[in-house]
Amino acid sequence: MSFLGVQAQASSREAVSFSTDDVVEVPLLVPAWQVEALEALAHAHGLTAGEMVRHLLSEFLTQSSQQ
C-alpha cells in the first residue's frame, strides 16, 4: 500500500493494516551518531537496526493514521 493509500484510509477513519508482502529498499542518509545510537538501542532491545527502524516506522504510521 502506498503512503497516499494510507492517508486516504486514515482520512476516512478506517482501520489501517500494513502489509509486509511487498518490500522496498530505501536508501537513507543518516548522521553517523544517529546510526550508532540506533544500533546501540536496537541491540539493547534484542533487535537489529533494520528491525528497529521498521518498528519505529510502523508505530509512527499507525499513530498518524489514528489522528
Rounded Cα distance between 60 and 51, Å, is 14
* Full domain range(s) for residue 45: 3-65
Better pLDDT: 45 or 10: 45
pLDDT above 80 for 16: no
Q: What is the pLDDT of residue 13?
A: 47
Instruction: Determine what percent of the chain is predicted with pLDDT higher than 90.
Output: 49
pLDDT above 90 for 44: yes
For the chain, what is the domain count?
1
Type of residue at 34:
Q
pLDDT above 50 for 24: yes
Rounded Cα distance between 65 and 67, Å, is 6
Rounded Cα distance between 62 and 59, Å, is 5
